[in-house]
Amino acid sequence: MVKAIFLIQTEDRKGILASVVDFFYSRGFNILKCQQHTDSYEKRFFMRIELDADDMKTSRKELEDEFGILASSMSLEWSCHWSDYRTRVAILVSKTSHCLYDLLARQLEGEFSAEIPLIISNHPDLERVAEQFRIPYYCIPVDGNKEKQESEIRELLRKFHIDLVVLARYMQILTSEFTEEWKNRIINIHHAFLPAFQGANPYKRAYERGVKMIGATAHYASEDLDQGPIIEQNVVRVSHELTPDGLKEVGKDLEKQVLATAVKAHLEHRIIVYKNKTIVFSVER
């Protein structure tokens, strides 16, 4: 079944839900799922609605255009997604392989509704993994000229019609031009429970602070390092016996899990960003 998914947000006021629901009902759609709530603190209306699009009477473009007219009249921020479109994902890595293996295995397992047409790295180390999974690997080292390297990467993203960039332990800081152009379309994994231990060496600092749990955080990349909207976080209890290297080992599983969960939420069109926060609607299957 092909589904149409609408993500909607606006200032809260009466009648929005009814108007939206009526819009689809009057066009003969079966509504599969409707999740709506109001953030009473922000006075903000958030909604995700999922429709059976199998027997649509109009074209997709017509539907979107008509909804656009309604949305304009009610000042809705919205996006529309079709479940049969496979999002095109580029994975960026450096030398660490655990997140890459995890993403590629999940892709083969059919967990992602996506294509992964290429892997990009600033190091040659993980080409062997790309080969194992038969995905083109582009090694673009920084070589002292970061600007040039980034512009080559961005050129590749365009050429491959990429929709989403996943930083799977990519250890370069992106320029604000890059994060601005790709706003809410770059997912990064940080190996700490943000906002604790922003920046470098979080496991060593976690060891020194003597925390009893370590965490991982997946977030959209923004201009300010490790400060973009958080999509997913998790933690695991750690023993006082673990050294910084031990924490790093234990943290790998967490990073894989948290990153994959965030990528799935994005691919399934379950995320709305408001201010510096995300609403992540729950999973359904």
Q: Which residues are catalytic?
A: 226
265-284 positions binding a second copy, by CB under 8 A:
275-280, 282-284
The least CB distance from residue 40 to a second copy, in Å, is: 6
211 near a second copy (CB under 8 A)? yes
The least CB distance from residue 176 to a second copy, in Å, is: 20
Residues contacting residue 216 through CB under 8 Å, at least 6 positions apart? 189, 190, 191, 192, 193, 233, 234, 235, 251, 254, 255, 257, 258, 259
Sequential DSSP letters for 108-142 = HHT-SSEEEEEEEESSSTTHHHHHHTT--EEE---
73 near a second copy (CB under 8 A)? no
37 near a second copy (CB under 8 A)? yes
How many Cβ atoms sit within 10 Å of the Cβ of residue 199? 10
Angle at 248 between CA 246 and CA 252, to 5 degrees: 120
95 near a second copy (CB under 8 A)? no
252 near a second copy (CB under 8 A)? yes
Where does this chain touch a second copy (CB under 8 A) — which range of 84-92, 114-122, 147-155, 250-258? 250-258
Amino acid at 228: G
The least CB distance from residue 151 to a second copy, in Å, is: 31
224 near a second copy (CB under 8 A)? no
117 near a second copy (CB under 8 A)? no
Q: How many residues bind a second copy (CB under 8 A)?
A: 74
Sequential DSSP letters for 216-283 = EEEEE--SSTT-S-EEEEEEEE--TT--HHHHHHHHHHHHHHHHHHHHHHHHTT-EEEETTEEEEPPP
43 near a second copy (CB under 8 A)? no
210 near a second copy (CB under 8 A)? yes
CB contact at 8 A, 46 and 39: yes
137 near a second copy (CB under 8 A)? no
Tell me which of 10, 35, 149, 151 binds a second copy, using CB under 8 A. Answer: 35
Tell me which of 18, 57, 144, 158 binds a second copy, using CB under 8 A. Answer: 18
